[in-house]
Every structure is written in C-alpha cells, then in structure tokens.
Structure 1
Amino acid sequence: MSQITMAEALAVRAAMNRLINQLMQERLNNSSTIIEKGETAEVPARSVDVITEEIDAVSADFRKLDLLMAISNTTETIPWNGTNITVMEAIELAKQMRNEIGQLAHLGSRKKLERQTSRGLEGGAVTLFNVALYDPEAYHAAARKKEREVTKLSSLIEHANHHSKIPFDAAKYME
C-alpha cells in the first residue's frame, strides 16, 4: 500500500471534504427538473444513484483517512520542554498557547494608570483612574516570549507532519 505524509493527508482530507460537498450539491441539482406539461424531462448524465454511490465511497475514504490521521497524531511524538508529547497534545497545547497570548497581549497593552472620564456627583466632578493591579510591561514581555514558544512548537508539529507516514492510497484525490 502506498503511503502519504501527514502534511499530504491534511491537504487530501480537505480536498475530499470539498469533493463531498460538491457531489452533494450535484446530487441536489440532478435530483429534479422543471418541465411544462407534455414535455419530456431531460435526464442528467449522472443519476442521483450514481452520485450517491460516489458520495458513499469518498465518505468512506474520508473516514478511513481521518482515523489514520488520528492514530498518527496519538502515536507520533515531538520533543517539548525536556519530554516527548504526542502531536495531538502539541496541537492542543499550541491552541491553548495562542489563546493565552491573546489575553497576555491585551493585558500587556494596558497602561499602569489611566484617567477615566470624570463623573459628577451631586454637582461635583470626581476624577477616576483605572489602576492596573499588575505590571503591564511584564505581561507584554510574557506575550512575546509565549509567541516565540508557540512558533517553535508549530514548527515542530509541521516538521513531524512532513516526516510521519500514513498508509493511505491518495491517488484518486491528488495527482
């Protein structure tokens, strides 16, 4: 059986998903026609049954590839922080890190002390300040550091995707 890399598998799976959607649209388009009374309906070149069989075949291949990719992601490992973690865990860690970077960057972009709009209380104006209860510069630096870490992690995932092989014949979907 031929093999493809995980990187190729990602592209093939996306192509298969697009093909399934196109076939479903084709099936809907070929499922009926409008004619005037007394006319004979023009039958499309591909019947609904033929298209349905093709959808079933591509869907089965999609499920098979998806399973093989999941198995690979749970068995292939990459080095991270002095240990090995599975690619699946690395992908989730990268997602979590990106979410954390967004929050750290937001906290890092704030000022330590910001004047707020003043509010009048019974005729008198009071000046209000929003005081950060942390060091914004430290959070800005933490966001930059974590961004470098997630870039490194993403690079390791990408490297693994180009080297791990999956036993799948993708000839029908790529040429």
Structure 2
Amino acid sequence: MSQITMAEALAVRAAIHRLMSQLASERLNNSSTIIEKGETAEYPARSVDVITEEIESAAADFRKLDLLMALSNTTQTISWNGSDITIMEAIELAKHIRGDIGQLAHLGSRKKLERQSSRGSGDNATTLFNVALYDPEAYQAAARKKEREVTKLSSLIEHANHNAIISFDASKYMG
C-alpha cells in the first residue's frame, strides 16, 4: 500500500471532503429534470446511482484516512517542556493556548485605573472608577510569551506532520 505523510494526509482529507460535497451537489442536479407533457426526459451522462456509489466510496476513504490520522496523532510524540506528548495532546494544547492568548491580551490592554462615569449631580456627584485587580502589563507580557510558545508548539507539530507516515493509497485524490 502507498504511504503518505501526515501533512499530505491533511491535504488529502480536505480534498476528499470537497469531492464529497461536489458529488452531493452533482447528485442533486442530476436527480431530476423538468419536461413538458409528452416529452421524454433526457438523462445526464452520470446517473444518481453512479454518483451515490462514488460518494460512498469517497466517504469510506474519508473515514479510513480519518482513523489512520487519529491513530498517528495518538502514537506520534513531540518533546515539549521536558517531556514527550502525543501530537493529539499538542494540538489540543495549542488550541487552549490560542484561546488563552486572546483573553490575556484583552486583560493586558486594559488600564490599571479608568474613569467610568459619574453618579448623581452637583455636590452629590460621585465619580466611579474601574480598577484592575491585577497588573495589566504583566498580562500583556504573558500574552506575548504565550504567542511565542504556541508558535513554537505549532512548528513542532508541523515538523512531526512532515515526518509521520501513514499507509493510505491517496492516488485517487493526489495528482
């Protein structure tokens, strides 16, 4: 059986998904036609049955490739922070870090003390302030550090994807 890298598998998986979507549209387009009474329907070159078989074949390949990719992601490891973690764990960690970066950057962009509004009028007016209960600059620095961290982690994942080999015949989907 042919072999592809995990990086190629990602592209092949996307190609199979696009093909299935295109075939589904073609099947709908070829499923009926409008004619006048007494006319004979003109059948398309590709029947609904043929297209359905192609969809089922592509879907079977998609599931097989998806499983092989998942198995690879749970067995291939990278070194991270002094220990080995699976690619799957690294991918989830990268997602978590990226989510965290957004919130850290938001917290880092706030001011330590910011005037909100005034309540009341005249001599009874009270000025309200929003006080950050943390150091915004520290959170800004933490966001920048995590950005560098996730960039490194993504690079390690990408490198691993170019070295991990999967046994899958992708000849139907790659030129």
Number of aligned residue pairs: 175
The offset of 1:2, in angstroms, is 1.1
- Find out whether 1:31 has 2:28 as its counterpart: no
Uncovered stretches (5+) of structure 1, i.e. residues with no partner: none
Q: What is residue 40 of structure 2 aligned with on the other side? A: 40
2-structure distance, mates of 1:72, 1:174:
20
Q: What is residue 160 of structure 1 aligned with on the other side? A: 160
- Normalized against structure 1, the TM-score is what? 0.98
Would the alpha carbon gap of residues 126 and 32 (structure 1) be closer, same or farther in structure 2, given more than 3 Å must change?
A: same
- Local SS of the residue matching 1:157: helix
Q: Where do 1:49-64 residues align within 5 Å?
A: 49-64=49-64
Cα deviations across residues 82-140 of structure 1 (Å, max 9, x unaligned)?
00000000000000000111111010000000001212269732111000000000000
Report which stretch shifted further, 120-129 or 31-40.
120-129
In percent, how many aligned pairs have the same letter?
81
2-structure distance, mates of 1:29, 1:123:
75
Q: Where do 1:1-175 residues align within 5 Å?
A: 1-120=1-120, 124-175=124-175
2-structure distance, mates of 1:126, 1:140:
31
Uncovered stretches (5+) of structure 2, i.e. residues with no partner: none
1-structure distance, mates of 2:122, 2:51:
75
Q: CA RMSD in A?
A: 1.1
2-structure distance, mates of 1:75, 1:29:
43
